[in-house]
């Protein structure tokens, strides 16, 4: 018999706060973390707004007990903060961590360090190439975080753009369900970088003001950064440890519409297929809330709305996009919004879209505008990545 997959721990850091409690407070009080950057050094600092974590790298190192002289990418530092909290909330022991799997999703990796060292390289200053750029690879961040938390089991890195960390949660859930693992830490981390900013700016999909997902006059997304991880555990392991259950992962699905490198298909094919697969695995439960991908771009919000309408017809669940709080955290988005989905379940509350003045009229139901107290038993969370890599997770109380 297949194992059930429970969530026994969570951890998060985002523009909203340094832990789960701070993020919940901001969500419930409609406090957005989007603002002009303090730590991202870019010529666009006064022109564009971001969901930047409100701590410098040195502050993060001190919080983690690391020497400020130690070279660690911001991506890894954010991941360490969130992974550490997930372990603390789950009550995992150092002995249990030795066999715990670690799945990490990221798209940026150690880009921030590479950018700083590249400037040194261009100025013809002395530079050890290997030590300066060895942390660039996405897998290096995974190894750094795993070593920090003491995870000795299998490690894996998934980089599928904006669906990266949703896919790590799906993969961990599949392995536990199949009896291939008992405990896994899964999620993702991404930091702001000039490379990412310039890339998205070249696509002309950045809003200079705080984004407005599902608004008729939306102008684009805001880039964000952060990290989040879930401790996923088999039913037998939860019972043996007496672990507290935060929710159950009951459905997951991944599809690729392969329509365009940086745009979703107009018909929402990938999103629809991902949602259908997740619903099928979950046993077609009643969905109380959809945490939509909802980036605020013209293409994404239209495509996702069409997919939601195709699946649910006239019975549209309550839905919103929390990217209006955090910005689009890229490879970390799926995991951050998985934590938000579980917060919704555990607190019986739906978090609203912010700044929606003229809502889109594609769906027969408008997005949630205000903090909505309601019974929340089942949440669907969508993550739609570049290249059409679309993933859906479904959590149950």
> Which pLDDT does position 70 carry in this prediction?
87
Mean pLDDT per 10-residue segment, the chain (397 residues): 91 98 98 97 95 97 94 96 98 95 96 81 73 80 96 94 97 97 97 95 96 97 98 97 97 90 84 97 98 96 96 96 98 98 98 96 92 95 91 98
107: Cα within 13 Å, side-chain hemisphere: 27
Give the helix/strand (H/E) hosting 290: strand 289-291
Full-model pTM: 0.96
Using only C-alpha atoms, the chain has a radius of gyration, in whole angstroms, of 20
Q: Would you state the structure tokens that stand for residue 159, as one six-digit string?
A: 């980089």
Q: Which among 265, 269, 346, 275 is positioned nearest to 10, based on CA atoms?
A: 346
> Which pLDDT does position 350 carry in this prediction?
96
Tell how many helices (H) and how many strands (E) occur in the chain.
14, 12
Alpha carbon separation from 86 to 47, 185, 269, 280 (Å, rounded): 35, 8, 34, 29
Total Cβ atoms within 10 A of residue 80: 28
> Which pLDDT does position 371 carry in this prediction?
92
The three-class DSSP label of residue 229 is: strand
Q: Which domains does the chain have, with CATH numbers?
A: 5-396 (3.40.47.10)
Per-residue 3-state assignment (H helix, E strand, C coil) for 37-80: CCCCCCCCCCCCCEECCCCCHHHHHHHHCCCCCCCCCHHHHHHH
Q: Would you state the structure tokens that stand for residue 169, as one six-digit string?
A: 């949660």
For residue 160, which phi and psi values (nearest 5 degrees)? -125, 45
> Which pLDDT does position 62 carry in this prediction?
97
The three-class DSSP label of residue 358 is: coil
CA triple 205-108-190, angle to 5 deg: 85
219, 221, 222, 226 alpha-carbon torsion, rounded to 10°: 170
The three-class DSSP label of residue 125 is: coil
Q: Would you state the structure tokens that stand for residue 240, as one six-digit string?
A: 């043996």
How far apart CA 342 and CA 353 sit, in angstroms, is 17
Q: Residue 73 burial by CB count (10 A; 0-12/13-18/19+): exposed, middle or buried? A: buried
The three-class DSSP label of residue 207 is: coil
Q: Which among 2, 22, 3, 5 is positioned nearest to 246, based on CA atoms?
A: 5
Alpha carbon separation from 263 to 94, 256, 267 (Å, rounded): 43, 12, 11
94, 100, 101, 105 alpha-carbon torsion, rounded to 10°: -50
How far apart CA 233 and CA 249 sit, in angstroms, is 10
The three-class DSSP label of residue 235 is: helix
Active-site positions?
A: 162, 293, 328
The three-class DSSP label of residue 353 is: coil
Q: Which among 229, 227, 213 is positioned nearest to 291, based on CA atoms?
A: 213
Alpha carbon separation from 3 to 17, 176, 194, 275 (Å, rounded): 34, 7, 43, 22
């Amino acid at each position: 018999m297949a194992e059930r997959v429970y969530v026994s721990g969570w951890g998060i850091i985002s523009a909203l706060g340094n832990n789960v409690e701070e993020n919940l407070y901001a969500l419930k009080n409609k406090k957005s973390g989007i603002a002009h950057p303090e730590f991202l050094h870019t010529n666009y600092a006064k022109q564009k707004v971001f969901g930047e974590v409100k701590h410098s790298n040195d502050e993060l190192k001190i919080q983690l007990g690391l020497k400020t002289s130690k070279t660690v990418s911001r991506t890894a530092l954010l991941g360490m903060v969130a992974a550490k909290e997930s372990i603390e909330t789950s009550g995992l022991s150092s002995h249990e961590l030795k066999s715990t799997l670690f799945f990490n999703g990221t798209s940026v990796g150690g880009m921030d360090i590479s950018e700083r060292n590249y400037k040194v390289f261009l100025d013809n200053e002395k530079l050890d190439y290997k030590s300066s750029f060895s942390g660039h690879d996405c897998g290096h961040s995974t190894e750094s975080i795993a070593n920090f938390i003491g995870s000795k089991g299998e490690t894996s890195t998934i980089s599928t753009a904006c669906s990266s960390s949703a896919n790590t949660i799906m993969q961990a859930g599949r392995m536990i369900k199949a009896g291939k693992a008992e405990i896994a830490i899964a999620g993702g981390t991404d930091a702001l970088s000039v490379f990412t900013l310039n890339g998205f700016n070249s696509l002309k999909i950045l809003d200079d003001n705080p984004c407005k997902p599902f608004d008729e006059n939306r102008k684009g997304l805001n880039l964000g950064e952060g990290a989040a991880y879930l401790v996923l555990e088999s039913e037998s392991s939860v019972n043996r440890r007496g672990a507290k259950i935060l929710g159950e992962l009951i459905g997951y699905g991944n599809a690729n519409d392969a329509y365009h490198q940086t745009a979703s298909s107009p018909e929402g094919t990938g999103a629809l297929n991902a949602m259908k697969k997740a619903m099928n695995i979950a046993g077609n439960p009643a969905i109380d809330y959809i945490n939509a991908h909802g980036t605020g771009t013209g293409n994404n919000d239209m495509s996702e709305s069409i997919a939601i309408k195709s699946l649910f017809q006239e019975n549209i669940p309550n839905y919103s996009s929390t990217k209006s709080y955090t910005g689009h955290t890229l490879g970390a988005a799926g995991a951050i919004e998985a934590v938000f989905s579980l917060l919704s379940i555990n607190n019986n509350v739906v978090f609203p879209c912010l700044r929606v003045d003229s809502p889109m009229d594609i769906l027969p139901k408008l997005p949630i505008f205000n903090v909505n107290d309601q019974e929340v038993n089942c949440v669907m969370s969508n993550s739609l990545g570049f290249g059409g890599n679309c993933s859906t997770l479904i959590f149950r109380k």
